[in-house]
Structure 1
Amino acid sequence: MDTPGKGRGTVRPIRILGDPVLRTECDTVRSFDADLERLIDDMFVSMHAAEGVGLAANQIGVSLRVFVYDCEDDKGRRHVGHVVNPVLVAEEGETLTAEEGCLSVPGLHFPTPRAARAVVEGVDRTGEPIRVEGTGYFARCLLHETYHLSGKVYLDFLSGDTRREALRTIRSADWSQVDQ
């Protein structure tokens, strides 16, 4: 399978938790032009360079509603693509708790509850409508990236002792920009 962005694009630095762009609702994409094409290419190469499976535009400092993914589902099938102006239209099924991490929260993983199935609708880089459905790990990826664009991070879905442990760990991390 040809990997989008491969051989094209520029690796951009990943923004770390504490950067306000990660907590700000992203703007709707209105121009489907060479700048958007370049952004998507940069996002793919940045995601692959960081060894991630998904990346939202705000994670590289661009406050636009775009995410990319290169992720397997619960049956081991690889899904590669992007969604512009995504809307979460279904978050359903059993709640599954599994270790989850984030390129903007480097090196840390915490058990995070997510729905077993997710459906996202939006458009592609040319403005054509698309619908992406995922189960298992791929559903987790779709949910994670869509919520990023609304200013949320996976830590927002933690509760109780897990949340307290996560916040304590983050405050003491050497990369932390989170207020004490």
Structure 2
Amino acid sequence: MTSEVLVEKKKLENPPLEIRVLGDRALRQPAKRIAKVDSEIRDLVREMLQTMYSADGIGLAAPQVAVQKQLIVVDCEPDNPANQPLVLINPTIKALTRDLCVAQEGCLSIPKVYLDVKRPEAIEVAYKDEYGRPRTLKATGLLSRAIQHEMDHLNGVLFVDRVENSLALTQELNKYGFSTQAVKPVG
């Protein structure tokens, strides 16, 4: 079955949704589980994908567009038309490796800021797809990192909350006009 939510991987001049930025309260509210996967949810998925591609992103969580639902979209190959984006509804991490790796992350809600974040190398995630079917996925590398990053958004956590180098964090945020007061360290 092909996805009903397929969208062209292209930039739109006027994407359908507005991405909220660091400091916006919508980014700090925990998302609610989705009880029913229906055409309304698929429409939201379509709009989120269009918005993500328009912003040159590889992932977007519903809270980033001020929708408090447990829904994320991920596409680690936005330039590859053959690669299907992932739609994860009510995702939960079932397993993760003890192996941690550090890599640079950025976020559509914190434009231009890129900093190192330590995360588990591999995860196993359970979720529902855009038809409400239960799925499980084992992810490593960039896909694992992107899913963990987007899932953090569902709990009101931003990648800057996980940055351990506070000097680099302060410098980067100040450089692009973000307040360090908006960071809520986790851990």
TM-score in terms of structure 1 length: 0.85
CA separation in 1, counterparts of 2:141 and 2:131? 29
**Counterparts of residues 58-73 of structure 1 (less than 5 Å):** 58-71=63-76
Q: CA deviation at 1:31?
A: 2.5
Match of 1:45 in 2: 50
1:43/1:124 CA distance change after superposition, 3 Å: same
Find the residue that maps to 1:87 and give its secondary structure. strand
Question: How many residues in Structure 1 have an aligned counterpart in Structure 2?
Answer: 172
Match of 1:5 in 2: 7
Q: CA deviation at 1:168?
A: 4.3
Q: CA deviation at 1:163?
A: 2.5
CA separation in 1, counterparts of 2:140 and 2:20? 28
Match of 1:75 in 2: none
CA separation in 1, counterparts of 2:137 and 2:16? 26
Q: Which deviates further from its counterpart, 39-48 or 165-174?
A: 165-174
Q: Tell me which amino acid in the other structure corresponds to 1:133.
A: K
Q: Tell me which amino acid in the other structure corresponds to 1:32.
A: V
Unaligned runs of 5+ in 1: 73-77
Match of 2:110 among 90, 105, 108: 105
Q: CA deviation at 1:86?
A: 0.5
Structure whose residues are more often strand by fraction: 1
Does residue 156 of structure 1 match 2:161?
yes
1:123–1:129 contact (8 Å) kept in structure 2 = yes
Match of 2:185 in 1: none
Match of 1:173 among 165, 176, 187: 176
CA RMSD of aligned residues (A): 2.5
Moved over 2 A (4+): 1-7, 171-174, 176-180
Q: CA deviation at 1:30?
A: 1.3
TM-score in terms of structure 2 length: 0.82
Same amino acid, percent of matched pairs:
27
Match of 1:32 in 2: 37
Unaligned runs of 5+ in 2: 78-82, 183-187
Find the residue that maps to 2:40 and give its secondary structure. helix
Q: CA deviation at 1:93?
A: 4.0
**Counterparts of residues 14-25 of structure 1 (less than 5 Å):** 14-25=19-30
Does residue 92 of structure 1 match 2:101?
no
Find the residue that maps to 1:71 and give its secondary structure. coil
Q: CA deviation at 1:134?
A: 0.9
CA separation in 1, counterparts of 2:103 and 2:84? 20
Find the residue that maps to 2:34 and give its secondary structure. coil
